């Protein structure tokens, strides 16, 4: 009995909320992204767990070369892009390409830190940037799906074109300042919600950001001290962020190994007492 109303709801949602607004392809990218990112994060956490020895490990060539899932993600995005452009895909073909592209995005963004550091830092502290990038990507696509991006030019008059260009330039400038301050979330979401970019721009930058190196430090020591106090590791919001990162992507390799050693020590102690 519940299947019919659920099916009608999905059909109505697809037709009236997505197709009628031309958002069905982005929605499929969005779903593919979340599905692949969620799967690969669960998979990598199972790979390193000694409790799940049956789970397949990484793909390694005969020469011992480790093929990161980033490679498969890039290949899927390239394939989906080429097929959609070459065949001028429409209808279900284009929908398939959109979903495959989203899956490729999820696999690729999950190793975002590899782009930056050019090293396998997946389980290190630096690898946490992959989780941040994935969360921002989901929020960005979610806002677009919700109608957060709707710049329109009502007429081709020069004033309208110049006015729109000026507004876009200001928003981009504000977002760039946020990125330079390492307020990445404010910069990315601020592209769609300008007040967030304004908020990030007027707030102090992180102590090791490019903005801090240029404008704080010895030039403005008070600003540098304020930034270090604001973003100290034991700050409540920083602790909360780390917990969210742990829940989404798992703890760092160092902390994970420490927990395993602690469990092994506890098991040895218990066996000796028996």
Give the count of beta carbons closer than 10 Å to the beta carbon of residue 205. 26
Helix (H) or strand (E) holding 139: helix 128-145
Per-residue confidence (pLDDT) for residue 32, from 0 to 100: 96
Residue 264 in domain:
no
Per-residue confidence (pLDDT) for residue 12, from 0 to 100: 77
105 with 129: CB under 8 angstroms? no
Least confident residue range of 6-15, 205-214, 240-249:
6-15
- Number of structural domains in the chain: 1
Residue 32 in domain:
yes
- Does position 76 have pLDDT exceeding 70, yes or no? yes
Residue 136 in domain:
yes
Residue 71 in domain:
yes
Confidence tier at 157 by pLDDT (50, 70, 90) = low
> In which domain, by residue range, is 141 found?
1-51+66-150
Give the count of beta carbons closer than 10 Å to the beta carbon of residue 77. 18
Least confident residue range of 71-75, 178-182, 239-243, 264-268:
264-268
pLDDT > 90 in the chain, percent: 39
How far is Cα 263 from Cα 266, in angstroms, rounded to an integer?
Answer: 5
Residue 157 in domain:
no
pTM comes to 0.81
Residue 119 in domain:
yes
Residue 61 in domain:
no
- Does position 1 have pLDDT exceeding 50, yes or no? no
Per-residue confidence (pLDDT) for residue 77, from 0 to 100: 95
């Amino acid at each position: 009995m519940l299947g019919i109303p659920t099916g009608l709801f999905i059909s109505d949602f697809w037709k009236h909320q997505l197709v009628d607004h031309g958002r069905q392809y982005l929605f499929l990218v969005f779903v593919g992204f979340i599905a692949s990112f969620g799967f690969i994060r669960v998979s990598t956490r199972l790979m390193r767990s000694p409790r799940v020895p049956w789970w397949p490990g990484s793909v390694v060539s005969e020469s011992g070369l480790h093929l990161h899932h980033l490679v498969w993600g890039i290949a899927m995005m390239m394939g989906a892009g080429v097929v959609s452009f070459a065949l001028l895909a429409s209808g279900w073909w284009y929908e398939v390409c959109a979903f495959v592209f989203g899956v490729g995005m999820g696999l690729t963004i999950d190793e975002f830190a590899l782009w930056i550091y050019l090293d396998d830092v997946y389980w290190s502290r630096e690898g946490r940037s992959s989780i941040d990038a994935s969360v921002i990507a989901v929020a960005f696509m979610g806002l677009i799906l919700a109608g957060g991006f709707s710049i329109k030019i009502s007429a081709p008059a020069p004033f309208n074109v110049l006015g729109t260009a000026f507004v876009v330039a200001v928003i981009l400038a504000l977002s760039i300042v946020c990125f330079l301050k390492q307020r990445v979330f404010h910069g990315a979401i601020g592209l769609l919600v300008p007040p967030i970019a304004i908020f990030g721009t007027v707030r102090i930058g992180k102590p090791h950001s490019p903005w801090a190196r240029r404008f704080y430090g010895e030039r403005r020591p008070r600003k540098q001290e304020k930034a270090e106090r604001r973003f100290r590791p034991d700050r409540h919001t920083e602790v909360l962020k780390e917990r969210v990162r742990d829940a989404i992507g798992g703890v760092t390799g160092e902390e994970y190994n420490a927990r395993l050693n602690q469990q092994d020590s506890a098991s040895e102690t218990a066996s000796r007492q028996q």
